[in-house]
Structures are given as C-alpha cells and as structure tokens.
Amino acid sequence: MAASAILCPSCQGFDIQAFARPGSPWITTKTALVRQGSQQGCHFCQFLVGGNDKNFFRENSLLKRGFEWLHWASASPVDIPSDSSLAVQSDRGLRISLLLVKLSKDPKPSLYSRGDGYNVLNLHADQGSPAATSGDIIGLPPVDRDPSSKSSCDRIRQWLDSCESHQECAKTLSMTRTVERGRAPLPTRCIRIDKSTSVPNRLNYRLEETGGRLGEYVSLSHRWSNPETPRSSTYLRNYHDRVAGLQSAFQDIDPLFTDVLLVASQVGIQYVWIDSLCIIQDSPQDWNSEAVKMADYYQNASFTIMAAVPPSKRSQGLFHVPGGDLYRLARLPYRDKEGNRKGHFYVSCHLDPARETQRHNQIQKNDLLTRGWVFQEWALSRRIAWYTEHGLTLRCKCRDLQHQGESLLNLDPSPSLHRILPLLGLVVPKHRWDRYKASAPPFQSPLDWQALVSQYSTMQLTKPEEDRLVALSGVAQEFTTQESSTKLVCGLRPWCLGVDLLWKQDTAGIHSRYMEFPSWSWASVNTSVSWIRTDDATDCFSVLSVSSTPGGRAGSPAGTGGNTTSSTSAPSGTAIQAIATLPFAPEASMNTLSIRCRLLTVLFGPVLEEKSRDFILRASRYPTEELSLNSQPRGVALATENETVAGWGSLEDPDLQLDDAFARNPIIFALCISVLTVPRGSGLFSRIWGGESIFNVLFVRPCSAVMNGFERVGVGRLFGIATGNEFQASQERDICLL
C-alpha cells in the first residue's frame, strides 16, 4: 500500500518503542513543531492537520488559546482510556493498534489534563513486515472500498474468528443460552449455496429443509419492497421447484438477496435464512408456525446482514461503492527494540469525523429501523454486518468495527448487554433493578421492559392489528426467564400488572384502536406509549382469573354501568399461574382479566392548557410529576363534587378525543390500580398535617360484550381527601376487563 515517505526530522525520528520504556507511557511534543512540519511538506504532520478531525486540530485557534502541547499514548484493542497507563507490553511485542493523541495546555501528559479532547489513530503494518512479525503493530489494514470485494469478506471472517473469544457474543440476549459457532440449531428451512460445477464463478441455490439439524448460517434483515420482495418470495406454487434446486425457480429473486448469498459464500458459510424465501408466504399454517421462531433464527445466526439500502437504490442490490476516499494514510518508520530502523508502518484515522457522522446517521436514521419487525431482529442478533452507502460496519455485542479496518476500543459501559440496549437507554437503574429482583420471578437480563416497549411502540408495522405483539415476541421470550414458566400476557408482565397497566398515549391526536387486543394492553392503540410513574405505590386490586375472549371486544359500549357480581371461581393464586402459562403467540392476543377492584364515577373537562396542567400537577404533589401535553390531559372531577378538580386523565379512546363527546354524558369510572401516600407538607408540617393519598387509576366504561364487562378508555391520577374518602367507602366489585 503506497504512501509518501516525505517526513520532517521529528517524524523521521519517531520510535514506537518509546511507549515501552520506563516512566511515563506518553510521548510529548509541541504543536508548533507539527505546524512547522506541515508547512514544510511533512506528510505525517499534514495528515495530523488536514486528515484528522479539523474540529479537533484547529491550528491557529488552539495555539492562540494556549494549546501548545501534543501528547501521545499507545493503546490496544481491549484498552479503555480510563487512566494514563495505556501501553500494552508482552513477550509477543508491544501489541499496539492505536495511538491516542491529546491536545493540551499542560506540558505534563494525562487524559484528564486540560485539553481539547483526544483523538484516535489506527496503526497497521504490511503482512510479513518486521513491524507485524514482531507483534509490535497489530492493527488491521484498511480494506478495499468495495464491500463485495474479497478483502471485505476476508475482514468478516477475521471478525467472526476474533469474536469467538467474546463470551458475551456467544450468548443470547437473556444471557441464559450459549450458541456454539458451527453447531447452532438451523431454521426450519434455509437457502443452501453451492458452487456450480459447470459454470465458473456461478452459485447454485436450493431451498433445503434443515429443521432439527446443527450448522452455521447467515440471516438477513431488510425492509420488504414492491415488487422485488413478492416476486422473489416462496409460495406453494414454487416451493417444490426450489426444494428440488431448479435454478429457474430462483432466476427472478431480488438482487439484494443474490448479493447476500454471495457474501455468505465468500465468507465460507453455506446456509442463509431470508424470511421471504424460507417461509411459504401463502401458507397461513407455515407463517403461524415460523413467526414465533424468528427470534431464535436471528439469535442463532453467525451474523445478521442489515441491508440499509435506500428504497430508490434497492434494484442495485446490497453493494454500493462510496465515492471519494474513505480514509487518508500516512507512513512512519519502524524501529525494533535495539533501535534499528526496519521498514515502516501505517497510520490512518480511527474514525474520520465526516464519514463517521454520515455512517452514524445512515444507520441510526435509516428507514429500516422504523420497522417493527426489524426492532427485534436488531436487538436479538448477536453480530451485525451493516451495509450502507458509506461502507461496511461490523458490530458484535462488545465492539464496533468500521469498513476501513480500524482497531477497536471497548468503550461500551455494559458489554454484557447487546449494543442496542445501552443505546436505547434500556438498562434499568440499580435501585429499580434491585426491586425487580426482589419480586417474582427473577430476570436473567436487566432490561427495562417499559422503556423497551416505549421504543418499540414508535415502530411501523404493515399489519399492526396482527403483528403488534408477535413482532416483539422474540424479545419478550428473552426478557422472561427461560427456565421459568412465566410469560408476558398481551405485552404486560403478570407479576407487576399494577405497574404495566398504567401506560398512556404519547402522541397527540385521534388514534385508531385494534379490537384484536384487549383494551388494557398497550398493543390495542396505534400510537407510541409510555408509562406514568408509580414509584412505591401499593396495588389496590387483585386478579381473580384470566381467560381467552373469542371474538374479542365485539360488543358495543353499554349505556349503563355494570352491576356488582359474585367472585369468579378461580382464586387469586391460580389466576397468576393461569396468566403465566398463556403462550405468547398470534392466536393468544385477546384475553380478559377478571379482577376485584373499587370504582368511582368521574366527569371530564376539556383538554388542559399548559398552565392548568402545571397547576394540577402541583396540586397532586406527586414526586417529580411529568406529563406531556401530547398525552392530551384533561381535568377530572368526582361525580359527587363536579365543581372541584380531583386529578387528571389521559384518554386514548378515539370516541372520547373530542370535547363534544362529553356533552352526551358518557358513564366513565375510575378504577383504582394503586395508591401512594405523600406528605402534605415538609419538615414539621408533614408530621402535623400527616399524609395524603394519590391514586393511580384506569378510566373504564361499561362494555356489553360480556356480563359485568368494562373496557379501558384512559389512564390518570386522582388526589384529594374527598377522593380518598369515596374510594374507602366504595364496595369492592368483581368485573371483567376486556
């Protein structure tokens, strides 16, 4: 790999062994020398000035501000820059792959000294050169710009080989199961790739029944596209031809798919799983069987290819050769331990700022990540190869490797979790995690289910009325303990229903509701959701039983309230067990909760303006209460005291979004879910005045679909002495919440 050798005297004297000598692991020089070398034509100094982040090395402004010193420290792939002892030494050489460069006002080097941050440079040497064979320089070289090239596929193989040493990457999301490379359970069907024996450089495909076997395969995550995906799909009419390996049955498949099959073949993996090719699309029986297995398919794959291809370029396939240079390169002399000059090594930007921004934006803002099915595909895949217009990015649970081949800094604060989870902020705070662990059952992965659902609820689905729960079923299965029979019920955790029932809409406007799901499940609304705070509130209801509801909420809302009923035959303990054994499957999405609770009739006012909302929140005295206007909160009053505001409510039911809906005086009840006692004052006054109860409630209305049936229409909070007195005086009722 050619690079200019024009260097200033200072750079000609560069000695990598200086990082191994006793004393400070830093090398220090003055920024003025770099500026002077750049003006004299030194390619390494020019690389630092122009090839690095210009926001990082702003010559004139930094010198004027007193940034006179440039400090260097070496690093290896497993180093975390948390102290100044970054040099890695061993009998196999220095094993350096990175240089940390810091601009500072202080002549004494430290990562914590006053400065303008630090930058990272990648080091690599030609294979077989003294710098490489000594073990002193171990970084990976940049690869060909074309992601379909042999060097790119070689890099994927190297990535897979190195990732085998990562214990976290061999485990599933819940960390309860280990997937052994080469011995993973294969999907029911895979596309098998064989090299043609008659036509050079041609691949032959076959749809093979692989269920019950062990092996290695690649999975694909992509957005379905018309007409490419339907034209490529497997149907009953072409299934047998594809199983027989007739190449004519594959001649019209999407160029994206052929590129994925090419990558797998070049990497040395014979099987590929692509949903539209491996699931019989016009067989409901096959779809229902395979839909709940897809989570395992992505977790068991050696890696998942994420096709971040713009829809306008779908016909071009997976590969896009980026324009311009992906990296800039400089060359420095290599000296061995005796100080003898023996060849050279190369320096490149670890993260080119402009390219990194483009790459990050294309991944994070890609349309692919707005799709509900892709959410769990991304979360469950143990390794991901992103193909974007700005190059290839390889990610595993521990590390992130760009197309250019930079070495790796393990900066993930939670390496035992998948990289998506810290990114989305789904790690539970320790105090909440401790409380979760104390409740039954134990978790195997410290995830915040509510935060996960909040993120997922923003995703788009082509058939939300069918897939709202199924598309998250894989993550749900991993979220609960695999050794336990406990399962989620309609997207809620049965062991903390008092928390999970209190979701609210997070987007203003009128949103449709899906009758295929119970009204008490967040899956029933076509909008993003979040949860109101409950802190340490005490539940005020009990679950008596859970049952399937054929036909769902087919009945129309009743015009009168339900009557008090006798208790259902199932005791509370049996109810929890019944919930726990319900499968998380497409046909199990509609369930009825039989609960014992207290109800109060309430009235609603108009949607609150910001000042009125803030006043009610202050009146509630709930700790650090936050409520977005997107939730369209309304003032709530008790029917017995209709002139006094007793709380707020957010109504998601579309029939109740308009103010004139309340002119018809709909009968709405507040169902008490939990209660929290807060002091009426602070300090001495709290002892004198005592506490006040705040009630977390669901708003429900009668539903004639079943006897004593109710359906949820909203959520909110009530407060005040009158509210507490009325709840205390009310009788417990047994109702069916549909």
Per residue in 129-172, pLDDT tens?
999 999 999 887 766 656 677 777 888 888 888 888 788 888 88
Percentage of the chain beyond pLDDT 70 is: 69
Six-digit token string for 77: 């792939």
115 to 57, 61, 380, 555: CA distances (angstroms): 11, 13, 40, 68
Asked whether the beta carbons of 677 and 693 are under 8 A apart, the reply is yes
pLDDT tens track for 677-709? 876 655 555 555 556 788 999 999 998 878 889
How far is the C-alpha of 384 from the C-alpha of 732, rounded, in Å? 53
pLDDT tens track for 254-275? 989 999 999 999 999 999 999 9
Find the mean pLDDT for residues 315-327: 60
Strands (E), 397-488: 400-402
The residue among 696 and 551 whose pLDDT is bigger is: 696
Regarding pTM above 0.85, the answer is no
The residue among 452 and 134 whose pLDDT is bigger is: 134
Question: What is residue 23's predicted lDDT score, i.e. its pLDDT?
Answer: 66
Find the mean pLDDT for residues 463-472: 84
pLDDT tens track for 478-506? 776 544 456 778 888 888 889 999 999 88
pLDDT at 5 over 80: no
Question: What is residue 695's predicted lDDT score, i.e. its pLDDT?
Answer: 92
Asked whether the beta carbons of 295 and 478 are under 8 A apart, the reply is yes
Question: What is residue 280's predicted lDDT score, i.e. its pLDDT?
Answer: 97
Choose the most confident range, by mean pLDDT, from 6-20, 431-445, 610-624: 6-20
153: helix, strand or coil: helix
313 to 145, 358, 533: CA distances (angstroms): 18, 17, 45
pLDDT tens track for 620-666? 655 455 666 667 788 899 998 888 888 888 899 888 877 677 877 78
Find the mean pLDDT for residues 57-84: 55
205: helix, strand or coil: strand
Quick one: angle between helices 150-163 and 255-267, nearest 10?
Answer: 60
pLDDT at 668 over 90: yes
Question: What is residue 378's predicted lDDT score, i.e. its pLDDT?
Answer: 82
Asked whether the beta carbons of 703 and 711 are under 8 A apart, the reply is yes
Positive/negative CA dihedral, 99, 101, 106, 111: negative
Mean pLDDT over the full length of the chain: 76
Question: What is residue 489's predicted lDDT score, i.e. its pLDDT?
Answer: 83
Asked whether the beta carbons of 605 and 637 are under 8 A apart, the reply is yes
DSSP 216-281: -EEEEE----TTHHHHH---HHHHHHHHTT-GGGGTT--HHHHHHHHHHHHHT--EEE-HHHHS-T
Per-residue confidence band for 548, with pLDDT thresholds at 50, 70 and 90: confident
DSSP 711-726: EEEEEEEEESHHHHHH
Question: What is residue 553's predicted lDDT score, i.e. its pLDDT?
Answer: 58
Question: What is residue 581's predicted lDDT score, i.e. its pLDDT?
Answer: 39
pLDDT at 557 over 60: no
pLDDT tens track for 376-402? 888 888 898 888 776 677 888 776 554
The residue among 294 and 352 whose pLDDT is bigger is: 294
Question: What is residue 110's predicted lDDT score, i.e. its pLDDT?
Answer: 62
Cis previous bond, 679, omega within 30: no
Residue with tokens 């498949």: 253
Q: Which of 192-206, 265-279, 400-414, 601-615 has the lowest mean pLDDT?
A: 400-414
